[in-house]
Copies of this chain bind each other. A is one copy, B any other.
């Protein structure tokens, strides 16, 4: 019989405590000890902050680690539990999926106790960390290969009350962008599991490209704004400036029609920047065949009036690979 996942300390203990979430060993690897921090100031909201689900998105772990430093001085009530790195093997390999079993942690929730390592992590998080919170902030980013504005995101939720509460929470980050992202219903996502239990779950998609000092400052400000909105921390929200612009917008995107794909193999050249407004037919990027200098580039055009939300870094891409994501103002 498999060992049970467990915490090495008591989350209900008042004050600050830290220890580990132990993910039991399996056939594929030894037990993992994920560092967990808890600050319990009694009555109030119960928040779980997770980072490092994907190993190539390090904004989350860095900002979570910074929170651990200043929260003890700042938090006034409630309980915040922080697990900065959910997937240490993926972070060490700088890879989206866990290198040991090749699985995407955000597609295997609620996990399996007798599964492979990624499924065992999901099982431990689902059964030990998730029950301790009524609100979850899961810190992601778009990784190094995309340009993407700092955003809080959510997906359409069937329950209108939970949708409204979730959107309000996402907007409380006061990041440049809040995005309602229609997914094609990928199974096994952490947010779907949390929402099925009635919890408010906000995914922070903390930008793309270099994990820089400036970017981290924006993300930290966004997280602090959300803590203020929850009443866990006192203070005034700050509106972070992104590339010399103060923009705050709530947009929506549909995964099917708003993700622009590469029409073939070749070198993708971005021809616009994130947050650019485009009209039908405007060129968003171009694709060069790598083996010919005489063949023309193929233009990739906007299907309609929209805002360029994310754009792929210039790179060699395969046919049907995503190269841009467009969005429009949310109609409420």
- Closest partner residue, chain B, to A37 (CB atom): B293
* Contact string against B for A residues 85-102, beta-carbon threshold 8 Å, 1 for contact and 0 otherwise: 100100110100000000
When the two chains form the complex, which single residue of B68, B91, B211, B271 contacts A293, counting CB atoms closer than 8 Å? Answer: B68
Give chain B residues whose Cβ lies under 8 Å from the Cβ of A66. 269
In residues 37-64 of chain A, which contact B (Cβ within 8 Å)?
37, 55, 58-59, 61-62
Whether A146 contacts B62 in the complex (CB less than 8 A), given A92-B316, A94-B316, A291-B35, comes out as no
In residues 178-229 of chain A, which contact B (Cβ within 8 Å)?
208-214, 216
Contact status B314-A211, CB under 8 Å: yes
When the two chains form the complex, which single residue of B61, B85, B212, B294 contacts A313, counting CB atoms closer than 8 Å? Answer: B212
Give chain B residues whose Cβ lies under 8 Å from the Cβ of A267. 58, 61-62, 65, 85, 91
Number of A interface residues at 8 Å Cβ cutoff, please give it.
51
Report the bound CA distance from A210 to B268 in whole Å: 12
Give chain B residues whose Cβ lies under 8 Å from the Cβ of A314. 58-59, 62, 211-212, 216
Contact status A212-B62, CB under 8 Å: no
Contact status B37-A212, CB under 8 Å: no
Contact status B208-A273, CB under 8 Å: no
Give chain B residues whose Cβ lies under 8 Å from the Cβ of A37. 293
Give chain B residues whose Cβ lies under 8 Å from the Cβ of A172. none
Q: A61-B267, A144-B210 are in contact. List 19 more A-B contacts (CB 8 A).
A: A35-B293, A55-B316, A58-B267, A62-B267, A62-B288, A65-B267, A65-B269, A65-B288, A91-B290, A91-B316, A94-B316, A144-B144, A144-B209, A147-B210, A147-B212, A211-B270, A211-B315, A212-B314, A214-B273
The 10 A-B pairs of least Cβ separation, nearest first, read A211-B314, A209-B210, A144-B144, A210-B313, A211-B313, A35-B293, A58-B314, A147-B210, A213-B270, A18-B293
